[in-house]
């Protein structure tokens, strides 16, 4: 896409109100210039990003992860439609080492709210449906792993219906309605709900789970000093704010198995003032690493930046990753589009894995293209967010890239 078309797409996206996407916490405000089909210069098959890695007990064939991507691809009972399974088959065959599913709700939700795209894992009756998903991925490539992305909506600005729930009765910046603060006993119930969902994930054949700890969902409201104003043992100090994560992780490991991998996706910074930022994120990451999680995935408050095709603007959370010193693997998410940049970042020793969402919606086989086909095009995703608007916020089925 040339600059002229790029500008017109900005206008189109403004018309669709995509500025609000940033507040929705999907990490996708970027509107980038078209990368175009540049010829690949040299073979990348020997790159270190193709070396195997480990997240807890899970051996991954390379350093590429398909980041969480919610999509309208199940029926109302939670069963994947054939077309909904197809994209997972493509991701598995396309060369990533690990697939994170889209949000899976651990609690029943109101389907009149904008939540139709959430996968369901809140009841045992969902297990056979989820097994169809894990079987699809594992049979497409037995080496490709898949983790269930466990989430509670909490007080998400867009997805929560009615009155949301959160650590405290403190709305996110810009949000008018205050959520209901969870009572102590409700926190214990929610912890159990996460553990039950992880157990179902194991029964359904998932290789592990990721906890959604960012993007303004429930667990994030505990981690951020912006929204956690509790005076009990779940608020105040860093240790207290991380406590709910620790309890969930410890209980999952106890009930589901100490070798069952538990990952967490977190905001490396929060938008607005008074939240986590580049100064205090290293301490937060350190405390989270001590909970027993097997990997920390970095996202952020306004995680996308415009024109991420520019090499200096891609992989835009790298600065946060470089600041932390944790003894669990670090996954970098957001704007990873150039394998040469990822290879350099990997070489820096601070980042262990790279997760991609939009690039793999457009080119599900990007890791294979980069590795085996020297004349293959580079990543052609323009980070326009049309996939997000069309499939997630408007609820149109079957995730795909809408660009020509």
Ligand X SMILES: Cc1cc2nc3c(=O)[nH]c(=O)nc-3n(C[C@H](O)[C@H](O)[C@H](O)COP(=O)(O)O)c2cc1C
Closer residue to ligand X, CB minimum distance, 68 or 289? 68
Closer residue to ligand X, CB minimum distance, 120 or 383? 383
Closer residue to ligand X, CB minimum distance, 249 or 356? 356
Among 359, 366, 370, 400, binds ligand X (CB under 6 A): 359
Site string for ligand X, 138-177 (x = CB under 6 A): -----------x----------------------------
Closer residue to ligand X, CB minimum distance, 149 or 353? 149
- State yes or no: residue 358 binds ligand X (CB under 6 A): yes
**Cβ within 8 Å of residue 49, ≥6 positions away:** 62, 63, 64, 339, 342, 343, 346, 354
**Cβ within 8 Å of residue 390, ≥6 positions away:** 396, 402
Closer residue to ligand X, CB minimum distance, 181 or 321? 321
Give the footprint of ligand X on residues 60-119 (CB under 6 A). Answer: 67-70, 102-103
Cα torsion 75, 79, 84, 88 to 10°: value is 150
- State yes or no: residue 27 binds ligand X (CB under 6 A): yes
Distance CA 145, CA 216 (A): 27
Q: Does residue 150 sit in helix, strand or coil? A: strand
- State yes or no: residue 314 binds ligand X (CB under 6 A): no
- State yes or no: residue 28 binds ligand X (CB under 6 A): yes
**Cβ within 8 Å of residue 324, ≥6 positions away:** 281, 282, 285, 286, 296, 330, 350
Q: Does residue 278 sit in helix, strand or coil? A: coil
Going by C-alpha positions, the residue among 75, 35, 140, 45 that lies closest to residue 377 is 35
Evaluate whether 235 touches 82 at the Cβ level (below 8 Å): no
Shortest Å, Cβ 354 to ligand X: 9
Looking at 231-352, which runs of residues are DSSP E strands? 262-267, 295-299, 330-333
Positive or negative torsion for Cα 117, 118, 121, 124: negative
Shortest Å, Cβ 69 to ligand X: 4
Cα torsion 19, 383, 271, 71 to 10°: value is 80
Closer residue to ligand X, CB minimum distance, 235 or 335? 335
Closer residue to ligand X, CB minimum distance, 136 or 336? 336
Shortest Å, Cβ 172 to ligand X: 16
Contact segment (CB under 6 A) with ligand X among 76-84, 178-186, 281-289, 357-365 equals: 357-365
- State yes or no: residue 357 binds ligand X (CB under 6 A): yes
Going by C-alpha positions, the residue among 363, 362, 354 that lies closest to residue 391 is 362
Closer residue to ligand X, CB minimum distance, 200 or 220? 220
Distance CA 280, CA 253 (A): 28
Evaluate whether 150 touches 106 at the Cβ level (below 8 Å): yes
Among 248, 345, 392, 401, binds ligand X (CB under 6 A): 392
- State yes or no: residue 209 binds ligand X (CB under 6 A): no
Going by C-alpha positions, the residue among 341, 213, 221, 356 that lies closest to residue 285 is 213
- State yes or no: residue 213 binds ligand X (CB under 6 A): no
Among 159, 208, 391, 400, binds ligand X (CB under 6 A): 391
- State yes or no: residue 26 binds ligand X (CB under 6 A): yes
Distance CA 146, CA 96 (A): 10
**Cβ within 8 Å of residue 38, ≥6 positions away:** 377, 378
- State yes or no: residue 235 binds ligand X (CB under 6 A): no
Closer residue to ligand X, CB minimum distance, 144 or 181? 144
Centroid of chain to Cα 174:
23
Shortest Å, Cβ 138 to ligand X: 21
Among 334, 345, 370, 380, binds ligand X (CB under 6 A): 334
Size of interface with ligand X, in residues (CB under 6 A): 28
Among 134, 276, 291, 299, binds ligand X (CB under 6 A): 299
Binding site for ligand X (CB under 6 A): 26-28, 67-70, 102-103, 149, 212, 215, 265, 299, 303, 333-336, 356-359, 383, 387-388, 391-392
């Amino acid at each position: 896409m040339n600059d002229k078309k790029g500008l017109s797409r900005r206008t189109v996206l403004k018309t669709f109100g995509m500025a609000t996407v940033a507040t929705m916490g999907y990490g996708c405000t970027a509107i980038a210039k078209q990368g175009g089909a540049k010829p690949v210069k040299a073979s990348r098959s020997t790159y270190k990003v193709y070396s195997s890695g480990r997240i807890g007990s899970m051996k991954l064939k390379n350093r590429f992860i398909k980041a969480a991507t919610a999509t309208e691809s199940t029926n109302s009972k939670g069963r994947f439609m054939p077309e909904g399974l197809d994209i997972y088959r493509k991701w598995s065959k396309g060369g990533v080492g690990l697939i994170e599913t889209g949000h899976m709700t651990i609690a029943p939700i109101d389907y009149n709210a904008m939540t139709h795209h959430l996968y369901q894992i809140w009841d045992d009756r969902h297990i056979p449906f989820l097994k169809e998903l894990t079987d699809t991925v594992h049979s497409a490539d037995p080496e490709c792993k898949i983790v269930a992305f466990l989430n509670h909506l909490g007080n998400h600005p867009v997805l929560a219906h009615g009155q949301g729930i959160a650590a405290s009765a403190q709305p996110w910046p810009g949000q008018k309605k205050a959520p209901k603060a969870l009572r102590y006993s409700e926190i214990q119930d929610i912890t159990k709900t996460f553990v039950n969902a992880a157990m179902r994930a194991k029964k359904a054949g998932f290789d592990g789970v990721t906890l959604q700890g960012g993007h303004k969902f429930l667990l994030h409201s505990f981690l951020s000093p912006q929204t956690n104003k509790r005076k009990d043992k779940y608020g105040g100090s860093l240790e207290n704010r991380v406590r709910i994560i620790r309890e969930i992780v410890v209980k999952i490991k106890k009930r589901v198995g100490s070798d069952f991998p538990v990952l967490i996706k977190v905001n490396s910074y929060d938008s607005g003032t008074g939240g986590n930022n580049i100064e205090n994120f290293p301490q937060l990451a350190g405390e989270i690493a001590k909970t027993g999680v097997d990997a920390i995935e970095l996202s952020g408050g306004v995680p996308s930046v415009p024109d991420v095709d520019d090499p200096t603007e891609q992989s835009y959370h790298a600065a946060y990753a470089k600041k932390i010193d944790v003894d669990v693997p670090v996954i970098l998410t957001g704007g990873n589009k150039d394998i040469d940049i990822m290879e350099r970042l990997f070489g820096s020793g601070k980042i262990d894995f790279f997760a991609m969402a939009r690039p793999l919606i457009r080119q599900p086989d990007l890791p294979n293209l980069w590795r085996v086909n020297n004349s293959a095009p580079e990543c052609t995703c323009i980070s326009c967010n049309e996939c997000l608007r069309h499939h997630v916020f408007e609820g149109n089925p079957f995730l795909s890239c809408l660009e020509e």
